[in-house]
Amino acid sequence: MLNRPLLLLTTLYFGAVCWAQQPDPALSSYIDSIRAIDNHAHVMAFSSADDKGYDQLRCDELPPATTLPPANLRFSPDIQAAWKALYDFSGSSASDEVLAALKARKDAARKKYGDQYHDWVLQQAGIDIVLANRLAMTPELGAHFRWVPYEDALLFPLDNSAAKSLNPDRRALFTMAEQLLKRYLQMTGVNAIPPTLDEYLAKVVTPTLERQARQGAVAIKFEAAYLRSLNFQPADKKSASAVYARLTYAPEAPDYTILQNYLFRYIAAEAGRLRLAVHIHTGSGCGEFFDDSGSDPMLLSSALNDPALRQTNFVLLHGGSPFNRHIVSLIAKPNVYTDMSVLELMFSPAELARILRPWLEIMPEHVMFGTDAGSFSPGADWEETTWMGTRNARRALAIALTGMVADRNITTARVKEIADQVLRRNALELYRLKPAP
Ligand SMILES: [Zn+2]
C-alpha cells in the first residue's frame, strides 16, 4: 500500500500527465473546424504505382533497409483509423490479403470520385490547399494544389563521383539528382553543361527558376541534407567560377563545395527576386547512411543571416527534428519559418505538443502545419498519411495551446488566433495564396 505523501504525489503526477494530454474540448472542436493549409506533402498522382514525380530523391529507390522502420511508422491503430475513415475498411494487419482488399476499396473510391478523388481526400482531412512537392504538377491535381519544385540538382553540375563513392545511398541519390539536372538542361534547350559558371547561371539556373515561377510554383525546395552538409558558407563568384572551370577537368578537387555554396545562395537570391519561398529539408532523413549531423538547421545560420538574402523567405521543413530546439532561435529571424511536417507521423500528439510549444511561445507567426504525406509503407500512402497527419497535428496543437492557457501564457482569445495562424493564416500570407472557391 502506498503511503500518503507518495499517494498524493503519484495522484498529482499522473493527474498532471493525464490532464496535459487532454485538450480543451471547445478548443479542439474549433481547431477541427479550421480548413488547413498543408505546407508540405508528396502528393501521388492517380496511377501512383507509375508515379515518380512525387519526389526528386526517392527513399524507395535507396538500397533496401536492413532494420525496422521507426515504430510509429509501422502498422498502427492510426493506420486502421485512416482506413476506416477514408474507405470504411477494417483490417487488423498489413498482410497481403488485407492490403489486396484495401486496394479494392481504394480503387472503388477512385472510380466513384474520378477526377475529384484528390479533392475528396482533402475534404475528409479538412484541408483546403496543399503545397505539392513534385517534379512536375499533374493535371489531375486541381484548384486545391500548389506546386513546389526541386532545385538540388542545380547545385551539383559537375562530376559527382567522389560524393557517390561515399556510401550506397549517396550513389543512388546523386544518380537521381543527375537525372533531374539532365531534364532541366533539356527543358532550357541546353544539351550539355555550359563551359563557364556565368553561362550556367544565365542559360540553366535562372531560366529554370523563371520557368517554375511562370508555371505557378509558390516555393522551391532543397533536400540538400541528403547530398551534403547544410553548412552553406559564403562564397564569392570569382572563386566559384574558378572551381567550376577547374572541376570540369579535375573531378577529385576538394573545393567543389565552394561552387555548391555559391550556387545555393545565388538560387536563394533569385527565389527572393521571383517571390518564391525556399523550402529546406532539415533534420532526420530516410536511408541508413543519412548524415544526421549535416542536417542540423543551425548550420544554415550564415545563409539565414546573409543581408543579401533578406528578401528571401526560408521555410525549415520538419522542424529540424531532432534539432527542433534550434528552430526556436532561427524562427525569431524576420524571414525564417518552420513546419511540423512528418513530425505528426513520427511522434504521438503528446510528444509533438512538447515540440511545438517553445516555437509557439517564441514566434507562432512563423510556424506552419504540414504533413509530409506520401507513400510511407504499404497501406500508408498519401491519402492515409494526409488523414493521419492532419488529425494528429490538430490534436497536438490543441494539447499545446490548452497547456499555454492553463499556464496563463496566453489568453483564451489569443488561443484561437494562434490556431488559425498555424493551421492556415501563416501559409496564406507567406505564399499570398488565394483560397480555392
Ligand atoms: Zn518531404
Structure confidence at residue 52 (pLDDT)? 67
- pLDDT digits over 336-394, tens only? 999 999 999 999 999 999 999 999 999 999 999 999 999 898 899 999 999 999 999 99
Distance 168 CA to ligand 1 centre (A): 21
Structure confidence at residue 49 (pLDDT)? 59
Distance 38 CA to ligand 1 centre (A): 12
Per the domain annotation, does 18 fall within a domain?
Answer: no
| Among candidate residues 431, 435, 341, 434, the one with its CA nearest the CA of residue 392 | 341
Per the domain annotation, does 121 fall within a domain?
Answer: no
Distance 94 CA to ligand 1 centre (A): 24
Per the domain annotation, does 371 fall within a domain?
Answer: yes
Per the domain annotation, does 386 fall within a domain?
Answer: yes
Per the domain annotation, does 165 fall within a domain?
Answer: yes
Distance 26 CA to ligand 1 centre (A): 32
* Stronger pLDDT, 64 or 397, i.e. the higher one: 397
Return the residue matching grid coordinates 511540423.
Answer: 340
- Residue 193 contacts residue 249 (beta carbons within 8 Å): no
Q: Has residue 12 got a pLDDT over 90?
A: no
- pLDDT digits over 57-90, tens only? 788 888 888 999 999 999 999 999 999 999 999 9
| Among candidate residues 110, 134, 107, the one with its CA nearest the CA of residue 121 | 110
C-alpha grid cell for residue 139? 493535371
Distance 140 CA to ligand 1 centre (A): 20
Q: Has residue 421 got a pLDDT over 80?
A: yes
Q: Has residue 20 got a pLDDT over 90?
A: no
Q: Has residue 5 got a pLDDT over 60?
A: no
Structure confidence at residue 101 (pLDDT)? 97
What is the CATH number for 265?
A: 3.20.20.140
Which domain, by its residues, includes 192? Answer: 24-66+126-430
Per the domain annotation, does 437 fall within a domain?
Answer: no
Distance 296 CA to ligand 1 centre (A): 16
Structure confidence at residue 44 (pLDDT)? 83
Q: How far apart are CA 414 and CA 411, in angstroms?
A: 5
**Cβ density class 370-398: b for 16+ within 10 Å, e for less:** bbbbbbbeebbbbbbbbbbbbbbbbbbbb
Distance 40 CA to ligand 1 centre (A): 6
Q: How far apart are CA 389 and CA 373, in angstroms?
A: 7
Distance 57 CA to ligand 1 centre (A): 10
Per the domain annotation, does 326 fall within a domain?
Answer: yes
Distance 41 CA to ligand 1 centre (A): 6
- pLDDT digits over 341-357, tens only? 999 999 999 999 999 99
pTM equals 0.92
State percent of the chain over pLDDT 70.
91
Which whole number is the average pLDDT over 274-303? 97
Per the domain annotation, does 2 fall within a domain?
Answer: no
The total of structural domains in the chain comes to 1
